[in-house]
Structure 1
Amino acid sequence: MDHIHDTAEIAPDTAPDGLAVARTQIESGLNFLFLAAFPLLLWVFQDSFAGIATAIALLWVYSLALRLIAAGQQIHHDYDHADVARAPRVPRKVIGAILIGLVVLVLAGHKYDNLWIPGLTGVLATGLALAAFGADPMRDKGSERARRQATLDSVETSLASLTDRVAALDDATLTLKVEAARRLVLGPMRRVSGNPGTVERLDRPARRVVEIMEHEIDRLEAAWNAQGHVFARRRFLAKLDVMTDSFETFAMQNGIRGSRDAFERQADKLIDRMPRESAA
């Protein structure tokens, strides 16, 4: 998850079960709202193809509006329960409210010859939706330093968990490789922890590395005791090399030099030689 961008960092004392219950309530309420407003679409159903097409389009727009509001409500809930969070980049609830107003405008337009009454009802519907669900958070929460630390802590925790999973496979080469990848990702982020702009640029690729590593480790664990164990191991190592090289290149392009020192490069060479020397 992109926790610090469009969702909030959850405070440690927040109960996950409570969040799940709140999100279920949000979904249930908006589903009920969808069913309650569905008969209004019968207004535009006619025997003509245009009437049916309009009704289907409005149904899709209305459903999209409710999905946006639901996502915005979840993000806002996480934001309220977080000590450190960024305001969402996309104002989902506002966009959803505007779409609801658009649906009402089109529905009213089928019943009035002029536009000012449908326009007024559309604006009123948007205002009522905003009054019911509220606007999206507009300001970042917590100090800039705390947000940078939250970003680093989140990536570090995720990478530590993935490293432990690989270590549990009891393969020294894999463990050393994953540990080296963890240091390579965290090193640049720690070096620029005092530079908000650079931390922001590194956050997304670092989280992408975590996401891909998690997926590949899932595949590795699934194949570990199967017949394709050797191929799965080789595939994991190859993808790990590509990911770390890409991240290192990106870091250097953003002005972070020396993200991997000579010792680490020498260690990589030794690790690469280990399987060949063992076979010999």
Structure 2
Amino acid sequence: MPRALIHNRASEPPPDQAATDSGLNILFLAAFPLFAWLFQGSFSAIATAMVELWILSLALRLINAGQRCHRLYDATPGARAPRLPRKLLGSLLLGVMVTVLAGHHFHSLFLPLLIGFLGFGLGLAAFGMDPIRDKPGVAQPIAAEDDVAEETLSRADHALAQIADRVAMLEDLEITRRTEAARSLVMRMLRSLARDPHALSRIERPVAKFIGLLDAEANRLCGEDPEKSSVFVRRRYLAKLEVMTESFETSARKTRVRGDKDAFELEADLLLDRMPRHNLA
């Protein structure tokens, strides 16, 4: 077969796309009576014809865009369903247009509404419905994000637990309780933000900084000479722990950008975590 013929065949649109375009072109024949209204009839008939032409044009645009989205949905593995049902809306506009046109020929509303509903049904039968369900492959990125969030929570909890265990070996009740309260605050905040991958990624850096500073202070506390004043060492650790906790709390509030239910629950958790520290003070 000649190469030119092969090239020409390859450049032709797919059969379903060609059939769709021809079907949309045939729908323009419905506008011929409207063009007649523009040149004869009253002012209300001309205004109605212009509105009907606009509705028909919008309906055809929606159906055409819906067909393109449907073909892309069929050709893409793991595709998401379109958020806007364009073909459904286009068919609905066709039904509205037919209802208005039929209303000029009947005195009651029943028959125009029935004819308009029939036009809506014929539009759906001709062009089909929009995809309404995501393909199974869409859930994979969500599962991957859940795994990343779970790993972040596990890593932070493990690091904070090690610090709390080292501090608990000093057998100081107040220091142990303050450290556990700080650990609880950080983990509550991380769990509250775990549903939002973007918020969790923004809070990772403050969490890492908080853990690093707390680890350094815990090492300094546990490595102090027992002959030094234990009161000064305890006060210094508790003061720095309070400053670091408040700084992390402020940074987490700035990370939160939506005032939704999770934000309200997070505020309540922060208040509950803050109460033991103030009671001890």
State the TM-score, normalized to the length of structure 1. 0.46
Q: Which has the higher helix share?
A: 2
State the TM-score, normalized to the length of structure 2. 0.46
Larger Rg: 2
